[in-house]
């Protein structure tokens, strides 16, 4: 059975290069993003990774952002920008006095995240409470030490927003905590000046605290909303409130997108026809993530004999695409071969199964990684599609995971991409030791005009339906239901212009798998429709 690696785990945790070379005039705000870069530590570049993630969200607002270590801040610089964000990512990193004194008095938009606010709020020279109307009381983390008998002692993990509860991720396995439980606790001291805009609750202790505090143009976010993110996460709350922080009030708009995934030469024409007819009859526009060139490098599904099927010979694929395109489907180019070389990377070496633009086995760029190698592959895929009559409207990286070079190159060859993305703190990252690099995965609630690599991004954040079929395929070992997708869409309603965007593998309709793929697909589509979303074609996303 042709298998695939589920991408969508609920968690995208912790994580390049240089700003895009595109010379388009920016119309949005000019933004300064300051971050901690504590030299000589393991986390020197983590703040930079968060800065990249914030910079990407600012791309929704067409902002021009400068990313600068807070240590390099010089007095008065805040005045050159429409808004400044300081990401306090590293506990007790020494913030320069030049920034503290500007932060104390500025009337400009300033957003402070998490740590080190005490250097401002507890230094009487800055007169913080009198100026801003709220105080900083201290940090809180886990309610107690976790143990085998009490693995989850609790913390301020539940953010209340627009009638929904967004829960921060927590995991405790083999004595190790995987979570980011710390928050900075503040309180209003002058209600004429400050308001708690969003609250965070600690369900185990019954306490609550401000999650986002606002005093005019000064904002304090108690948390780092880029760590351990997922589709029901407080990251969505921040994604929405960012409109208010920047003073750019986008209109309420709830649109939905559906993409059929990993469609290559071995696709079932019958499954594709069934899905196409259903969507067409429901007047639901859709797209097809198409793999132009099928490769089974090791013959894993072909009795040990390597197999290649170019698009010109992929009769079933062309039949399925032609039927769908005639009914309004749009084509997304999803890799060239969606596998890499003659190796298992990591599964089979077969198109649709493996990574193409990242060596996941060694967790590093592939040996050939370069602009010329990537552009040759993308050109080959584009040529194959176009010479067979298909005009792809977007790029989507295989497994949403490609090198910095591949992302930057894709941005020069496609006007848009349709994906999640991984960002690296160096083009050739080194993931170990002091000053190590980070790679961070990011999902988006809304379109990004230009990300850190210069890509325009159409979002996909809800995930995909999965079934536990481990007896047939040991790599498919968990369920992600249509209800999960609809629940994620319901959370997405909290973002004023958030997209309910998900994808689906047509192979779940194949009878030998014995799963209700088609029925569940229809329930997901209908559930999202009932939430009030309107379905759109990806080419219409602005």
Q: How far is the CB of 497 from Zn ion (least distance, A)?
A: 4
Q: Quick check: 62 binds Zn ion (CB under 5 A)?
A: no
Q: Which residues pair with 30 in a beta bridge?
A: 64
Q: Based on CB atoms, which residue is closest to Zn ion, 37 or 422?
A: 422
Q: Which stretch binds Zn ion (CB under 5 A): 197-205, 342-350, 384-392, 491-499?
A: 491-499
Pairing of strands 64-69, 307-309: unpaired
Q: How far is the CB of 201 from Zn ion (least distance, A)?
A: 27
User: What string marks each residue from 175 to 194 as x (binds Zn ion by CB under 5 A) or -?
Assistant: --------------------
Number of residues that bind Zn ion (CB under 5 A): 3
Q: Which stretch binds Zn ion (CB under 5 A): 36-44, 164-172, 374-382, 495-503?
A: 495-503
User: Residue 310: which of 288, 320, 299, 295 has the closest Cα?
Assistant: 295
User: Residue 109: which of 81, 129, 128, 132 has the closest Cα?
Assistant: 81
Residue nearest to Zn ion (CB): 250
Q: Residue 534: which H helix or E strand, with range?
A: strand 534-535
Query: CA–CA separation, 340 vs 53, rounded Å?
Result: 28
Q: How far is the CB of 113 from Zn ion (least distance, A)?
A: 20
Q: Cβ neighbours of residue 487 under 8 Å, at least 6 residues apart?
A: 232
Q: Which stretch binds Zn ion (CB under 5 A): 170-178, 265-273, 360-368, 492-500?
A: 492-500
Q: Based on CB atoms, which residue is closest to Zn ion, 193 or 255?
A: 255
Q: Which stretch binds Zn ion (CB under 5 A): 206-214, 433-441, 479-487, 494-502?
A: 494-502
Asked if the peptide bond before residue 87 counts as cis, ω within 30 degrees of 0, the response is no
Calculate the dihedral angle through the C-alpha atoms of 453, 45, 179, 458, rounding to the nearest 10 degrees. -10
Q: How far is the CB of 162 from Zn ion (least distance, A)?
A: 15
3-state secondary structure at position 333: strand
Query: CA–CA separation, 420 vs 403, rounded Å?
Result: 13
Read off φ and ψ for residue 165, nearest 5 degrees: -110, 115
Please, which of residues 19-58 interact with Zn ion by CB under 5 A? Answer: none
User: What string marks each residue from 449 to 488 as x (binds Zn ion by CB under 5 A) or -?
Assistant: ----------------------------------------
Q: Which residues pair with 223 in a beta bridge?
A: none
Q: How far is the CB of 462 from Zn ion (least distance, A)?
A: 16
Q: How far is the CB of 338 from Zn ion (least distance, A)?
A: 6
Q: How far is the CB of 336 from Zn ion (least distance, A)?
A: 12
Q: Based on CB atoms, which residue is closest to Zn ion, 244 or 497?
A: 497
Q: Based on CB atoms, which residue is closest to Zn ion, 62 or 497?
A: 497
Q: Based on CB atoms, which residue is closest to Zn ion, 188 or 513?
A: 513
User: Residue 417: which of 453, 462, 372 has the closest Cα?
Assistant: 453
Query: CA–CA separation, 117 vs 211, rounded Å?
Result: 14
Q: Based on CB atoms, which residue is closest to Zn ion, 210 or 335?
A: 335
Q: Residue 104: which H helix or E strand, with range?
A: helix 97-105
Q: How far is the CB of 337 from Zn ion (least distance, A)?
A: 11
Q: Which stretch binds Zn ion (CB under 5 A): 199-207, 385-393, 409-417, 496-504?
A: 496-504
Q: Quick check: 497 binds Zn ion (CB under 5 A)?
A: yes
Q: Cβ neighbours of residue 516 under 8 Å, at least 6 residues apart?
A: none
Q: Based on CB atoms, which residue is closest to Zn ion, 262 or 520?
A: 262
Q: How far is the CB of 418 from Zn ion (least distance, A)?
A: 12
Q: How far is the CB of 495 from Zn ion (least distance, A)?
A: 8
Please provide the DSSP assignment of 371-382 as one string.
HHHHHHHHHHHH
Q: How far is the CB of 451 from Zn ion (least distance, A)?
A: 15
Largest Cα–Cα distance in the chain?
Answer: 76
Two tokens, residue 457: 């991004």
Q: Which residues pair with 502 in a beta bridge?
A: 258, 463
Read off φ and ψ for residue 276, nearest 5 degrees: -60, -45
Two tokens, residue 262: 């990993």
Q: Based on CB atoms, which residue is closest to Zn ion, 47 or 459?
A: 459
Q: Based on CB atoms, which residue is closest to Zn ion, 250 or 386?
A: 250
Go through 41-72 and write b for each residue having 16 or more CB atoms within 10 A of its CB, e for each that does not: eebbbbbbbbbbbbbbbbbbbbbbbbbbbbbe
Please, which of residues 388-407 interact with Zn ion by CB under 5 A? Answer: none
Within 10 Å of residue 250's Cβ, how many Cβ atoms? 13
Q: How far is the CB of 58 from Zn ion (least distance, A)?
A: 11
Q: Residue 215: which H helix or E strand, with range?
A: strand 207-215
Q: How far is the CB of 239 from Zn ion (least distance, A)?
A: 8
Read off φ and ψ for residue 279, nearest 5 degrees: -65, -40
User: Residue 252: which of 2, 521, 511, 496 has the closest Cα?
Assistant: 496
Q: Based on CB atoms, which residue is closest to Zn ion, 232 or 254?
A: 254
Q: Based on CB atoms, which residue is closest to Zn ion, 250 or 282?
A: 250
Q: Based on CB atoms, which residue is closest to Zn ion, 95 or 448?
A: 448
Two tokens, residue 348: 């089979």
Please, which of residues 229-268 interact with Zn ion by CB under 5 A? Answer: 250, 262
Two tokens, residue 226: 């880029």
Please, which of residues 147-166 interact with Zn ion by CB under 5 A? Answer: none
Q: Based on CB atoms, which residue is closest to Zn ion, 74 or 534?
A: 534
Residues that bind Zn ion (CB under 5 A): 250, 262, 497
């Amino acid at each position: 059975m042709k298998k695939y690696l589920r991408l969508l785990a609920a968690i995208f945790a912790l994580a390049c290069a240089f700003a895009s070379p595109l010379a388009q005039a920016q119309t949005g705000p000019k933004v300064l993003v300051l971050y901690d870069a504590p030299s000589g530590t393991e986390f020197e570049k983590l703040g930079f990774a968060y800065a990249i993630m914030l910079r990407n969200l600012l791309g929704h607002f067409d902002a021009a952002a400068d990313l600068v270590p807070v240590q390099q801040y010089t007095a008065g610089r805040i005045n050159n920008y429409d808004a400044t964000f300081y990401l306090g990512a590293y506990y007790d990193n020494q913030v320069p006095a030049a920034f503290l004194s500007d932060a104390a008095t500025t009337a400009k938009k300033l957003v402070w995240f998490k740590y080190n606010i005490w250097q401002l709020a507890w230094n009487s020279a800055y007169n913080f409470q009198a100026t801003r109307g709220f105080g900083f009381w201290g940090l809180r983390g886990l309610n107690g030490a976790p143990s085998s008998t009490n693995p989850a002692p609790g913390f301020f993990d539940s953010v209340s927003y627009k009638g929904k509860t967004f829960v921060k991720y927590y995991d405790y396995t083999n004595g190790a905590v995987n979570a980011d439980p710390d928050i900075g606790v503040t309180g209003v001291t002058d209600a004429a000046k400050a308001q708690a805009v969003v609250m965070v609750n600690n369900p185990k202790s019954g306490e609550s605290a401000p999650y986002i505090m606002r005093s005019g143009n000064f904002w304090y976010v108690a948390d780092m909303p880029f760590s351990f993110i997922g589709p029901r996460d407080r990251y969505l709350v921040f994604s929405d409130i960012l409109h208010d922080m920047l003073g750019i009030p986008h209109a309420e708009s709830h649109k939905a997108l559906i993409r059929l995934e990993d469609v290559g030469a071995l696709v079932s024409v019958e499954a594709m026809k069934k899905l196409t007819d259903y969507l067409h009859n429901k007047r639901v526009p859709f797209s097809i993530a198409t793999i132009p060139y099928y490769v089974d490098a090791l013959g894993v599904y072909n009795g040990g004999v390597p197999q290649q099927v170019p698009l010109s010979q992929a009769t079933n694929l062309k039949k399925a695409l032609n039927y769908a395109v005639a009914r309004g489907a749009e084509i997304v180019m999803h890799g060239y071969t969606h596998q890499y070389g003659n190796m298992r990377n990591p599964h089979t070496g077969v198109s649709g199964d493996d990574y193409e633009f990242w060596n996941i086995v060694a967790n590093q760029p592939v040996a050939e990684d370069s602009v010329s190698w990537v552009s040759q592959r993308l050109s080959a895929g584009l040529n194959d599609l176009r010479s067979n009559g298909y005009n792809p409207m977007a790029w989507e990286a295989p497994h949403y995971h490609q090198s910095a070079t591949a992302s930057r190159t894709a941005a020069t060859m496609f006007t848009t991409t349709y994906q999640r993305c991984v960002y690296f703190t160096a083009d050739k990252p080194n993931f170990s030791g002091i000053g190590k690099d980070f790679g961070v995965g990011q999902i988006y609630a809304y379109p990004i005009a230009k990300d850190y690599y210069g890509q325009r991004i159409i979002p996909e954040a809800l995930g995909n339906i999965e079934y536990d079929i481990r007896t047939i395929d040991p790599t498919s070992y968990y369920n992600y239901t249509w209800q999960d997708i609809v629940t994620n869409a319901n959370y997405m309603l909290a973002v004023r212009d958030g997209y309910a965007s998900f994808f689906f593998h047509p192979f779940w309709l194949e009878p030998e798998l014995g799963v209700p793929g088609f029925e569940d697909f229809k329930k997901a589509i209908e559930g999202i429709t009932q939430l009030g979303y309107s379905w759109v074609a990806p080419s219409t996303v602005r």
